[in-house]
Amino acid sequence: MPKVRRKRLSTARNRLNRPKKLLAKATTASNQQIKAVYFDLVAQPNELIKSKSTGKFIQLSKPPRNLKVSDDWDVKTGDVLSWSEGRPTETFFVTSEGTLLKNPDTSGSGYLTIPLSITSQFSNAVDYFSSVLDSIGCNYVSSIELAPTDSFFEKNFSKELPASIQNRTDISYSFDPNDKVLYVTLASNPKQSQHFQLETTKIDDIIQWISTSNETKAKFIVKYNFEGKETCSKVPRGIIMGLPGGWQCEQQGSMLFGENKIQGEWKCEGTEKTKEKARKAIEKHYKGLDVEIK
């Protein structure tokens, strides 16, 4: 997946704090065996990974030069070994080939990307790496790349993606665990990307966007500035409803929402061929209220 520097959808985070360290135990509880383990080899370089043959701890103060995982190390595919201080720039994944894969960092800013080459080996990648997120801190994870067959889709959207979309090789999916957003990107054009909030998205929204992704796009900016208690009491809450299939609505900038004043703007995007239907849906949503649509 190409490097894509995405703007965070929320900003209330302190990125400079060192991640919390929940150190891996030498003996993992049985109900955690199916999850990846995070090994902080800066904090405890000689007291985390055991030898299978001797049962003693192995000294690992730095990554092996050849990035090979010894058959004697008590680790498994997907485990994360970190020699990082602060951001996980020197963090590695154990691969099924017995090697260490360095954090590919698609953010370009030193955060952890859990790549498709690793996640595709597990049916529920977000759950499998949940212990890693707990250990390193979600603020230090930029994305978890997902296979279209991952159970993430059924768990969050109640349905799987249809086989016709699962079989496509020109679409990539990545989940931002900070903002709870799924990014869907066309491999042929990384700029052709759409984000979907987990709380408000249905699987049909994703399918519709994919099916119309190559069509000409249109956009509306909807600005509103309502004043007075009586007027504000008539303003509909939440995002604009009733937009045609394939259209997305998101807040632009900050919003003021009070008893006597409501101010802000929406960005609505979708296909050119349903532009007029979208305009009518916006007008219906704010029926009887004065808004600027441009």
Sole residue written with tokens 């504000």:
232
pLDDT score at 225:
96
Task: Spell out the residues 6+ positions from residue 16 whose beta carbon is closer than 8 angstroms to its own.
Answer: none
Rounded mean pLDDT, 6-24: 44
Residue 24 has pLDDT above 50, yes or no: no
pLDDT score at 33:
52
Q: Phi and psi dihedrals of 139, rounded to 5?
A: -65, -15
Q: How far apart are CA 274 and CA 220, in angstroms?
A: 12
pLDDT score at 58:
93
- Asked if residue 64 lies in contact with residue 100, where contact means CB atoms within 8 angstroms, the answer is yes
Amino acid letter at 64? P
Task: Spell out the residues 6+ positions from residue 8 whose beta carbon is closer than 8 angstroms to its own.
Answer: 178, 179
> Residue 54 CB: number of other CB atoms within 10 A?
9
- Asked if residue 92 lies in contact with residue 77, where contact means CB atoms within 8 angstroms, the answer is no
pLDDT score at 193:
86
Closest C-alpha among 263, 271, 269, 266 to residue 285: 266
Rounded mean pLDDT, 127-155: 96
Q: How far apart are CA 64 and CA 61, in angstroms?
A: 9
Residue 15 has pLDDT above 50, yes or no: no
pLDDT score at 9:
52
Q: How far apart are CA 57 and CA 39, in angstroms?
A: 13
- 41-93 pLDDT, tens digit per residue, is 998 888 889 999 999 999 999 999 999 999 999 999 999 999 999 899 999 99
Rounded mean pLDDT, 156-165: 95
pLDDT score at 271:
87
- Asked if residue 38 lies in contact with residue 82, where contact means CB atoms within 8 angstroms, the answer is yes
Q: What share of the chain is helix, strand, coil (3-state, %, to 5)?
A: 20, 30, 50
pLDDT score at 162:
96
Distances (CA, A) of 11 to 7, 8, 14, 123, 135: 9, 7, 9, 31, 21
Q: How far apart are CA 211 and CA 188, in angstroms?
A: 15
Give the pLDDT band (50/70/90) at residue 34. confident
Rounded mean pLDDT, 171-183: 95
Task: Spell out the residues 6+ positions from residue 293 whose beta carbon is closer than 8 angstroms to its own.
Answer: 220, 221, 222, 279, 282, 283
Q: How many helices (H) and strands (E) does the chain have?
A: 8, 13
pLDDT score at 11:
36
- 179-236 pLDDT, tens digit per residue, is 999 999 988 777 778 889 998 899 999 998 898 887 888 999 999 999 999 999 999 9
pLDDT score at 187:
83
Q: What is the DSSP string of 212-246?
A: TTTSPEEEEEEEEEEESHHHHTTSPPSSPP-PPTT
Residue 238 has pLDDT above 90, yes or no: no
Residue 268 has pLDDT above 80, yes or no: yes
Rounded mean pLDDT, 96-106: 97
Rounded mean pLDDT, 136-165: 96
Whole-number mean pLDDT of the chain? 88
DSSP secondary structure code for residue 274 in this structure: G
Tokens of 173: 């999916």
Q: What is the pTM of this model?
A: 0.74
pLDDT score at 14:
38
First-to-last C-alpha distance (Å) of the chain:
35
pLDDT score at 245:
80
Q: How far apart are CA 56 and CA 203, in angstroms?
A: 49
